[in-house]
Structure 1
Amino acid sequence: MRNANSEHSIEIKEMDSSNNNNNPSLPYKVGVPPKQNLWTEFSTTLKETFFSDDPLHSFKHQSKCRQLILGIQAVFPIFEWGRNYDLAKFKGDLISGLTIASLCIPQDIGYAKLANLAPQYGLYSSFVPPLVYAFMGSSRDIAIGPVAVVSLLLGTLLQNEIDPVKDAFEYRRLAFTATFFAGITQATLGILRLGFLIDFLSHAAVVGFMAGAAITIALQQLKGFLGIKKFTKNTDIVSVMRSVFGSAHHGWNWETIVIGATFLVFLLFAKYIGKKSKKLFWVPAIAPLISVVLSTFFVYITHAENKGVQIVRHIEKGINPPSVKEIYLSGEYLLKGVRIGMVAGIIALTEAVAIGRTFAAMKDYQIDGNKEMVALGAMNIAGSMTSCYVATGSFSRSAVNYMAGCKTAASNIVMSIVVFLTLQFITPLFEYTPNAILSSIIISAVIGLIDYEAAILIWKIDKFDFIACMGAFFGVVFASVEIGLLIAVSISFAKLLLQVTRPKTVILGKIPRTNVYRNIQQYPEASKVPGVLIIRVDSAIYFSNSNYIKERILRWLTDEEEQLKAAGLFDIQFLIVEMSPVTDIDTSGIHALEELHRSLQKRDVQLVLANPGPVVIDKLHASKFASCLGEDKIFLTVADAIQTCSPKFAEEV
């Protein structure tokens, strides 16, 4: 017969075929699955690891022409959904594209300043990358462009290498180089189907990192919000506050503060209205552009720039100039560009994939993570050659895009066209835009990155996750963005290693009036079996944890024997290891079981295994451990093992 619950159907053999007809209640022996040849085993493992979505499935049994069409659609999804595009969808994309354009234009100018670049580079980055993504991306809702966290990260890392004021040209070249290698990193992860690597940055660490970055970004805006001319280049809260209060007597400008505070209140009120009523989503979306228009007009008619109000001044007119020749492909800055690009690219990728998955789940459709990485990589590579810096999916703009009723990625094309028209005709009108309004727009935008509800939930669910969250948060706020990122990654890996090297082992007992055996800590009413200790191992057994598992099982046995001795009860005669959670075992794990078996023999305790999976049982037989242990010591269930080891208890309970 076959056990349908196993990953690969496990062959169940009767313990004694000659006696089974007379004794149908005899326990079953776990059989060995059919042996696969080396190539089949290798290809199956490779497919499960890297090609679990079977990307070539749709190509099978197709004509050459059809395969070519499917190949083009796989690289450029626009040719797939574009066939069914109609006027109704265009209407939704047009409205959402215009809405996110009104939000992105003022944000892009401010985010460029975070990256220590001239304002037009923010607009450039919302022109070319969204066009490329619209053709290659698989998400319908993501809105592409510069984002606050990546802009700050890029600006911080770049200015550590080149001064953006004294050597603006070389700084810009390094920014394009970093963007190029950010795209290379993203595309490579997608092509090699290594997207699972970004999952090593845990959700808790991302929550803490984003919140810390939001605080840091908001503090950085105090320079423009208060009109301070001399400001620290450090991003930690101590240096920023020292710089702010150190300039309080002579560096603040009250006209600037009035402008910034007035429009910050207006922007926050607009966001409040948008949250109260989803139908009014357009209010917070157009509020930044309204703020820019009104504040610019006010400064222009009052000549507030003559009273110390800092303004944007000149923004280059015209679309993106080529920058292919400005990318460092050799020299001392090449490796620096690679390093900065890889870090910025992975953070941008993490944010974009998270956003894409969120909105795909809300609309109940699937996105291909590896295609997304290739699309994001391609758009940043193209962007680096057209004077753009790292672009990715923006959560605030994507949320507006979603609520505005976008139907396809064509909303990015509409937004890109609006940015094109802005660059071509409107940029001179931003000359009198006060820096204070850009600071207010950025502050109001990054407040949403502080997800305190998520932090509270993390605390309730997993205290170690909360430590990762707070470690990333305080690392960003009190040190720097890169230190916070390093802490986030380190704690995430530390948690993973701890779970791998120190897996849980629990004692099982029998639930009354059933044949079910469960953790006695979870079910206190579960009763232990006299003379039998049942332990479940909740992990695969590898070289990293095999010794710990062996020693932990022996400690459980020692503790149990001491308790039984103190109570004057029977000694342990059988130790049953429930192995259903053990998905795999390696050579070190086999050796650990052998050592455990020898240690138990010295104590006159018999080792029994229950429910090993197909991979595990195959390796137990290949290593001859199953023969050494004895075929009659491996059972399908704990109940079968108890029936053999302690038949009186099985009958009584």
Structure 2
Amino acid sequence: MSAAEKAKNLGKRVIGYEDDVPPAIDTVDWIKESIGNPWQSAVGYATSLFPILSWLPRYNLGWFYGDVVAGLTVGMVLVPQGMSYAQIATLSPEYGLYSSFVGVLIYCIFATSKDVSIGPVAVMSLTVAQIIREVDAAAPGQFSGPQVGNTLSFICGFIVLAIGMLRLGWLIEFIPAPAVAGFMTGSAISIATSQLPGLFGLSGFDTRAETFRVIIESLKHLPKTKVDAAFGLPALVFLYAVRFGCEKLSKRWPRYSRIIFFISVLRNAFVILVLTIASWLYTRSHLGPDQDASLSPIKILGEVPRGFQQLGRPEIDPELLKVIAGQLPVATIILLLEHVAIAKSFGRINGYKINPNQELIAIGVTNTVGSCFGAYPATGSFSRSALTAKCGVRTPASGLASALVVLVALYGLTPAFFWIPSAALSAVIIHAVADLVTPPAQVYQYWRISPVEFVIWVAAVLCTIFATIEDGIYVAICASLAFLLIRVAHPRGKFLGKVNLKSDSSAENRDAYVPLTDDGVKNPAVDVSPPAPGVIVYRFEESYLYPNQHVFNSALVDRVHETTRRGKDMSNVSYADRPWNDPGPKSGTAREDDEKLPLLYAVVLDFSPISHVDTTAVQTLIDTRAEIERWADRPVEFHFATITSPWVRRALIAGGFGFSRDGAQVPHEIAPVVPYRDSEARTDSMSSDTKDDLESGNKDSKTVADVTEVPISSSGASSVSSNYETIMRSDTPFFHVDLTAAIRAAERSAERAREDGTVML
């Protein structure tokens, strides 16, 4: 092989590229690229499981100060919230503290986010309450609430851990942000509504029913409001007054904003402390010598066991697993979805990148280990994570300080918890979950950006309010996937025309190709010129796959029928000789209108948006070419512009595109569903050059090669006769570097055909 042939086979070095342009990709190349070095991959995987190893050796006193301040602050918020959320889950307050302790303690080892705070959250707590309720209905008195919560923590944690270990975190990306915001908003409204009876001391109806029913029943029972409202309503008003007041003060006196911020943060702990003292003063004379909490004139928390009472191996009952099996998907989805969404949000705000798979591992380990402490499922909390970030946290180690606060509360403050009024905890819950409601400005942005996602958000909210959280999240996910499939199956495509651009600062002109019809993007006053007669330019705005291949075929064939005339005059053909599905004009009818239309010579396809094609799509493209050539009654050139994927190039070559003008020279079926007996004969009729090697190219087709040329390096120039070479590979002259080159090549071919008065062979 000569030096020139060798250079041509390997590709030419062009300016701007340091390496030789690679040849056509092979399956072996893909396997090597995917697997890489197995040993390095195994070591990298093992070390990635413990992100703490990357930052712990560099830990310093500056980081320590920020972590301690943030951890202690979050811990003082976590204790009342943990007990409050345990009430939402219909569990005793200590279970909320168990979940809080394990969450902040374990997470720092596996975390890739410094801001996220793990522990009980409102949405997960409400889900646990609904599952406990369904278990009681299915097996009355057989399983306790703590047992159900503990089993959920272990099983869901194990499932999430497996998803993270298998690196399947990309599945979460199928659920868009508006869907998450929708069910979070609906859940927040449901949780706040469920706390209204506790806030006013109402009873006598089901507070766990659908949200709209709880609202109706609460309004009906308002005349029966008890003394509890004297503790709950002032607490709620105080929380909001301190919050908004501190926001105003920090803007007025920014130099004291740090102090004002910590005053605002401690409002939960302060209101619980004050109302606990008030409750003790008000109720201590009513409880008798035995301190019976049921005798209290207001509902108080009651006895909270000291320390960890549930340490040990979790007891997983197979019968309980059968009962809760149907609820595991929604519980698992809430665990991973809420946490990853929060971690991504704070990573984006604070300038670092999280690893979704590693975050799932962290959640999985936290809940699996938490089941040994008697905890119920825990995940990332939006409000506490926001607080952690605002406190200036430096590393995930802040969770250790928060765990210390929870530990002190469990072993030293449980006697004081006895007197906490339940109405005050209801006020804390309502105040916390209100931040989960999507603000109107954000909802309006959904409408402006994507009305479809706005519909998903509304559907998720309504289903959560009028049904259950389970229904809301399933509706949000299913609607998102349905719209995704619809978008893939019904993509948009545009037929393009030319606009000549002129610059005031230079005499250089260039052509731009934009949609022929008004698309709402370009200036409607701009006149778009169609391509040369006999040339059609089409851009398909989606990957070319089996769900949408019919759209491509229909659009292109219909356009050919509308804008070009038939190559064969059917007006003189008898009905007996015409296809049943293509009658053509009536016999003897004049074709004056058709004579005004040009003959079709070339089709240019802009493949810049297409990153993937499959077998069905390539087969459809072959069928499209055959159908168009039957209409034109001649070979039609198919030019392809801006093919960015080597696998797309390989697939098109396998379908006979890129190197041949004549569609009759390649197989008409590359993957027949029903093999025909004459397939071998049809293959044998191919030209010898094509049959020998489908990727070798047609050597005589170089006349239409991309004329865009660039200088090659001295090493390449020494092996060829010229210092210039085409950018694209010379064995596929119908693949072009950009749309301009493709259209120019197609127009030149059409012009030559019109001048010669011959068809292209």
TM-score normalized with structure 2 length? 0.74
Q: For residues 602 and 650 of structure 1, do their structure 2 counterparts lie closer, same or farther at Cα, with a shift above 3 Å needed?
A: closer
What is the deviation of 1:336? Answer: 4.0
Query: Comparing 79-88 with 118-127, which one deviates more in the overlay?
Result: 79-88
Q: 1:283 aligns with which of 263, 277, 289?
A: 263
Q: 1:500 aligns with which of 456, 474, 488?
A: 488
State whether structure 2 residue 621 is matched by structure 1 residue 593: yes
State whether structure 2 residue 595 is matched by structure 1 residue 623: no
Give structure 1 stretches of 5+ with no counterpart: 1-9, 15-30, 48-53, 60-66
State whether structure 2 residue 441 is matched by structure 1 residue 448: no
Amino acid at match of 1:446: V
What is the deviation of 1:165? Answer: 12
Equivalent in the alignment of 2:476: 488
Q: For residues 121 and 236 of structure 1, do their structure 2 counterparts lie closer, same or farther at Cα, with a shift above 3 Å needed?
A: same
Amino acid at match of 1:642: I
CA distance in structure 1 between the aligned counterparts of 2:423 and 2:139, rounded to whole angstroms:
20
Amino acid at match of 2:539: R
* SS of corresponding position for 2:163: helix
Q: For residues 464 and 640 of structure 1, do their structure 2 counterparts lie closer, same or farther at Cα, with a shift above 3 Å needed?
A: same
Equivalent in the alignment of 2:688: none
Give structure 2 stretches of 5+ with no counterpart: 1-8, 14-19, 251-256, 287-294, 502-509, 566-591, 663-700, 705-733, 753-761
Q: For residues 436 and 374 of structure 1, do their structure 2 counterparts lie closer, same or farther at Cα, with a shift above 3 Å needed?
A: same
CA distance in structure 1 between the aligned counterparts of 2:24 and 2:747, rounded to whole angstroms:
34
Amino acid at match of 1:309: I
Following superposition of structure 1 onto structure 2, how do residues 59-70 of structure 1 map, counting pairs within 5 Å?
none
What is the deviation of 1:458? Answer: 0.7
* SS of corresponding position for 1:580: coil
Following superposition of structure 1 onto structure 2, how do residues 379-458 of structure 1 map, counting pairs within 5 Å?
379-452=366-439, 453-458=441-446
* SS of corresponding position for 2:222: coil
Question: CA deviation digits over 1:140-191, x for unaligned, max 9?
Answer: 1111111111111222233122259974853322221111121112111111
* SS of corresponding position for 2:537: strand
Equivalent in the alignment of 1:580: 608
What is the deviation of 1:561? Answer: 5.5
Asked whether the equivalents of residues 225 and 436 of structure 1 are also in contact (C-alpha less than 8 Å), the reply is yes
Amino acid at match of 1:440: A
Asked whether the equivalents of residues 25 and 650 of structure 2 are also in contact (C-alpha less than 8 Å), the reply is no
Following superposition of structure 1 onto structure 2, how do residues 552-571 of structure 1 map, counting pairs within 5 Å?
552-560=555-563, 570=598
Q: For residues 11 and 227 of structure 1, do their structure 2 counterparts lie closer, same or farther at Cα, with a shift above 3 Å needed?
A: farther
Question: CA deviation digits over 1:53-76, x for unaligned, max 9?
Answer: x998698xxxxxxx6xx8775333
Question: CA deviation digits over 1:577-628, x for unaligned, max 9?
Answer: 2111111111100111011101111221835232233211111222334455
Asked which structure has the greater CA Rg, the reply is 2
Q: For residues 591 and 89 of structure 1, do their structure 2 counterparts lie closer, same or farther at Cα, with a shift above 3 Å needed?
A: same
Q: For residues 294 and 508 of structure 1, do their structure 2 counterparts lie closer, same or farther at Cα, with a shift above 3 Å needed?
A: same
Equivalent in the alignment of 1:517: 513
* SS of corresponding position for 2:538: strand
Question: CA deviation digits over 1:170-216, x for unaligned, max 9?
Answer: 33222211111211121111111110001111111011111111111
Q: For residues 323 and 591 of structure 1, do their structure 2 counterparts lie closer, same or farther at Cα, with a shift above 3 Å needed?
A: same
CA distance in structure 1 between the aligned counterparts of 2:322 and 2:299, rounded to whole angstroms:
37
Amino acid at match of 2:499: I
CA distance in structure 1 between the aligned counterparts of 2:118 and 2:147, rounded to whole angstroms:
22
Asked whether the equivalents of residues 608 and 641 of structure 1 are also in contact (C-alpha less than 8 Å), the reply is no
What is the deviation of 1:573? Answer: 4.3
Amino acid at match of 2:190: T
State whether structure 2 residue 447 is matched by structure 1 residue 459: yes
CA distance in structure 1 between the aligned counterparts of 2:142 and 2:442, rounded to whole angstroms:
40
Equivalent in the alignment of 1:44: 33
Query: Comparing 592-601 with 34-43, which one deviates more in the overlay?
Result: 34-43
TM-score normalized with structure 1 length? 0.86
Question: CA deviation digits over 1:258-298, x for unaligned, max 9?
Answer: 22111101111222245443533323321111111111111
Asked whether the equivalents of residues 135 and 324 of structure 2 are also in contact (C-alpha less than 8 Å), the reply is no
Question: CA deviation digits over 1:223-277, x for unaligned, max 9?
Answer: 2011112331544232212321332344x21x22222111101111222245443
Equivalent in the alignment of 2:737: 636
Equivalent in the alignment of 1:293: 273
Following superposition of structure 1 onto structure 2, how do residues 260-339 of structure 1 map, counting pairs within 5 Å?
260-276=232-248, 277=250, 279=258, 280-303=260-283, 308-328=297-317, 330-331=318-319, 333-339=320-326
Amino acid at match of 2:298: V
State whether structure 2 residue 135 is matched by structure 1 residue 161: yes
Equivalent in the alignment of 1:117: 91
Equivalent in the alignment of 2:464: 476
Q: 2:63 aligns with which of 82, 85, 89?
A: 89
CA distance in structure 1 between the aligned counterparts of 2:10 and 2:398, rounded to whole angstroms:
54
Equivalent in the alignment of 2:669: none
Equivalent in the alignment of 1:348: 335
CA distance in structure 2 between the aligned counterparts of 1:11 and 1:227, rounded to whole angstroms:
82
Equivalent in the alignment of 2:542: 539
* SS of corresponding position for 1:365: coil
What is the deviation of 1:11? Answer: 8.0
Amino acid at match of 1:509: G
CA distance in structure 2 between the aligned counterparts of 1:195 and 1:302, rounded to whole angstroms:
52
* SS of corresponding position for 1:76: coil
Asked whether the equivalents of residues 176 and 388 of structure 1 are also in contact (C-alpha less than 8 Å), the reply is yes
CA distance in structure 1 between the aligned counterparts of 2:436 and 2:309, rounded to whole angstroms:
30
Equivalent in the alignment of 1:373: 360
Task: Identify, as 1 or 2, the structure richer in helix.
Answer: 1
Amino acid at match of 1:621: I
Asked whether the equivalents of residues 135 and 143 of structure 2 are also in contact (C-alpha less than 8 Å), the reply is no
CA distance in structure 2 between the aligned counterparts of 1:55 and 1:417, rounded to whole angstroms:
42
Q: Percent identity?
A: 28
* SS of corresponding position for 2:536: strand
CA distance in structure 1 between the aligned counterparts of 2:349 and 2:419, rounded to whole angstroms:
41
